Structure 1
Amino acid sequence: MAGTVVFDLDGTLADTSGDLIAAANACFEGRGLGALLDPVADALIAFHGGRAMLRAGYARMGSDMLLPPGAEDQDFALLLGHYGERIAVHTRLYPGTEAALDQLADAGHRLAVCTNKPEGLAETLLRELGIRDRFASLIGADTLPVRKPDPRPYTAAVEAAGGNVAHSFLVGDTETDRKTAAAAGVKVALVAFGPEGESLSRLAPEAMLAHFDDLPALAQDWLRA
């Protein structure tokens, strides 16, 4: 029997760290601070959100430099603007993403996205990557008054796709996704090829995905009942 497979976006479907870091660095450079984050060494920070990137950068300022009141809020708005303008310069889908989505769809499964990225940015990115039409629904950070790990965005994503929560599971890459699945009462598969890699096994997910090639068989196993 077909079911619903729900995906996180950043760090799960695509490596978005390069463009996120670039947007943060544009904010720092606008204040004359230079590029405070490294696109490779600081990639994991990017997946904790815009404010996490800003705070990490601020922590590297010289001790003689002070930020004006409200700087973080100002820079966060600017960061979203910079990111929206150059959202898919460095971003790439992880290997096997499109093939796995096609195989899941061919098996009759519904596909959805549940992300803590603002909905408008998520829509734009998925279209830029050429995969928006693969998903029957998209729930972003601001679609509802709450975001993951609250289970309601997940439930909304499944139901908007025409599915049943009891016959669905989540694919993600963070502790937030692990907590979301637990709150929704569903299984989670965490990707070992994302920013945290195999270390996510410490969260005891029901499955770890070494490659998207493994996802169709997992879906067949989990959703056949």
Structure 2
Amino acid sequence: MTPVLVVFDLDGTLLDTHADLVESLNYTIAAIDVAPVSYDDLTHLVGHGAKVMIERACSLRGHPLSQEQLPALLDRFIAHYTDNMPGHTAPYPGLVEAMDQLKSAGCKLAVCTNKLEGLARSLIEKLELTHYFDAITGGDTFTVRKPDAQHLLGTIERAGGDVRNSVMIGDSINDILVARNAGVPSIAVPFGYSDAPVETLGPNRVITHFKELTPALIDELIMDFTAATPTAAAG
């Protein structure tokens, strides 16, 4: 039987990246004299990658961008963010212990994020977490990104997993929707960057701390989901 695969979102799920995202975003938009954003704004900005985050920040501050302005701003963001890795970013409490438990139980792990794949890989490497993951995919890995089912399905394939034996964990509507679209059960965490309470997004489970993320919980979730949806996406 194919091993269980646990797929994580990155920002706001695996890693608390908020301070560095805000810092690099404000550095970027300062180049065009846009007023800085705050952590409170972040929930409305993240989830669709750096390009959209820059666009949304400028729009939020009443400074809509032209498409011609975006490439240089994106380059500025990527350079600043990369040069300052890992900065203040750290795994959420209990994450490493939970991943150790899952790996010991024979689970595979993967990352499915809308962050650029290069940024995601660099950040995970700087935090010395790369060895945990059988696949890391970003918003530019495929021709689609979350919540398109093919982003998650492609991640599962790269990790050597099976859609019928996989779980998606995230903090936002994109994560819950990509799981639903792919026919995979979802777990939501409330400590990330969602602009709505995660329990209202329709996840199959909510955990408030990674100490709750046990192999038993994953097995139970997959069994319950399979029983409820016996024809859940077989491919």
Q: Same fold (TM over 0.5)?
A: yes
CA positional deviation for 1:187: 0.4
Runs ≥4 residues deviating over 4 A: 65-69
TM-aligned CA distance change 1:35 to 1:128, over 3 Å: farther
Match for residue 208 of structure 1?
A: 206
TM-aligned CA distance change 1:83 to 1:220, over 3 Å: same
Q: Is residue 2:135 matched to residue 1:137?
A: yes
Match for residue 30 of structure 1?
A: 31
* Secondary structure class of the residue paired with 2:168: strand
Match of 2:111 among 106, 110, 113: 113
TM-aligned CA distance change 1:126 to 1:177, over 3 Å: same
Number of residue pairs aligned between Structure 1 and Structure 2: 220
* Secondary structure class of the residue paired with 1:111: strand
* Secondary structure class of the residue paired with 2:40: coil
Name the CA distance, whole Å, in 1 between partners of 2:89 and 2:34. Answer: 22
CA contact (8 A) 1:192 1:198 kept: no
Match for residue 80 of structure 1?
A: 78
Match for residue 10 of structure 1?
A: 11
One-letter code of the match for 1:158? I
One-letter code of the match for 1:164? D
Q: Where in structure 2 are there 5+ consecutive unaligned residues? A: 227-235
* Secondary structure class of the residue paired with 2:213: helix
CA positional deviation for 1:204: 1.7
Identity of aligned residues (%): 36
Name the CA distance, whole Å, in 1 between partners of 2:152 and 2:192. Answer: 20
Q: Where in structure 1 are there 5+ consecutive unaligned residues? A: none
One-letter code of the match for 2:57? A
Match for residue 220 of structure 2?
A: 221
CA contact (8 A) 1:189 1:205 kept: yes
Deviations 1:129-167 (A, max 9, x none): 111110011111111111111111211221222211111
Q: How does 1:122-133 map to 2 (within 5 A)?
A: 122-133=120-131
Deviations 1:105-145 (A, max 9, x none): 00101111111111111110111111111001111111111
What RMSD in Å do the two structures reach over aligned CA positions? 2.4
Name the CA distance, whole Å, in 2 between partners of 1:69 and 1:205. Answer: 35
CA positional deviation for 1:90: 1.4
Q: How does 1:177-216 map to 2 (within 5 A)?
A: 177-196=175-194, 199-216=197-214
Match for residue 158 of structure 1?
A: 156
Match of 2:165 among 167, 172, 187: 167
CA contact (8 A) 2:55 2:64 kept: no
Name the CA distance, whole Å, in 2 between partners of 1:67 and 1:5. Answer: 38
Match for residue 98 of structure 2?
A: 100
CA positional deviation for 1:202: 0.6
CA positional deviation for 1:222: 2.6
Q: Which segment drifts farther, 188-197 or 204-213?
A: 188-197
TM-aligned CA distance change 1:118 to 1:66, over 3 Å: closer
Name the CA distance, whole Å, in 2 between partners of 1:21 and 1:113. Answer: 22
TM-aligned CA distance change 1:67 to 1:52, over 3 Å: closer
TM-aligned CA distance change 1:53 to 1:166, over 3 Å: same
CA positional deviation for 1:45: 3.7
Q: Which segment drifts farther, 203-212 or 215-224?
A: 215-224
Match for residue 145 of structure 2?
A: 147
Match for residue 60 of structure 1?
A: 61
Match for residue 41 of structure 1?
A: 40
**With structure 1 as the length reference, what TM-score do the two structures score?**
0.88
